[in-house]
Chains A and B, each alone.
Chain A
Amino acid sequence: MLTLKKKIETIVAELTLRYDSLRKIWQYSDSQPTEITLAAALVTLYPIATYLELGYSPIMQLLAPIAGLYQLYCVSGKCLSCRVRASFVTFSFYLLAGVMYLYCGLLFQGPSYWGWILLAVSSFGSLKRIKKEELHRKNG
């Protein structure tokens, strides 16, 4: 009985450690690859997917690729404040997609549509990471 309790405690401690480690990686790891992926998806997949599923929408299909290209430009320029701005725009577009799908009643038609929520969360996480880096550099 005592051994089982100890084993459970060890497993819980290990899982807590792993969870903390994941949280730290999520909060502080380098976000450029994520930013590039999100921007590339905004340029290529976003307009195609929204056009096929929601129909023609100039705000989403014309402005989103521009925002994606702007983010790619900022990531390549290594300017933090520019990256914060671009990430905010990217986050807004992914959130807009989520809202549009929700409005059209598509969001809960299948789990694959939840990907927009995932992308919004991912872009928000990336935005927070860059802001943290900016504040860290400012404060020294």
Chain B
Amino acid sequence: MSREAKIIAFCCNWCSYAAADLAGISRLQYPGSIRIIRVMCSGMVHPEMVIHALDKGADGVMIIGCHLGECHYIRGNEMALARAEVIADTLEDLGYESERFRIAWVSSAEPERLAEAFREMSARLASLRETDASPSGIGE
């Protein structure tokens, strides 16, 4: 149970991937189990890509895009937001906890915010695993 939660993070090319770059240069600390996948825009991440990641063994998936209103492609992140609501709702239907998915907005000048989002997601998944490990039916 010491394994860190594996997280797939889809980062958009223009803001959050640049932020991840800056986080690296600035030597900010965040969990090493994050796998960043660069996409051109958060709006191109189809819900099936998220489900595919979970089906293949990821513990959690994040989509990280530019702040709303600052999308390089004008409205791509609004599309991502509409899709994120669908994903969060549908995950439960497909047998996953909705906490396994998160969408966040990070500009290219906010590496600290990105690292914080990564840490927060990792902690959330760790607590999810604790509840998984406890015997079912014994609630508080």
Question: Do A and B interact with each other, yes or no?
Answer: no
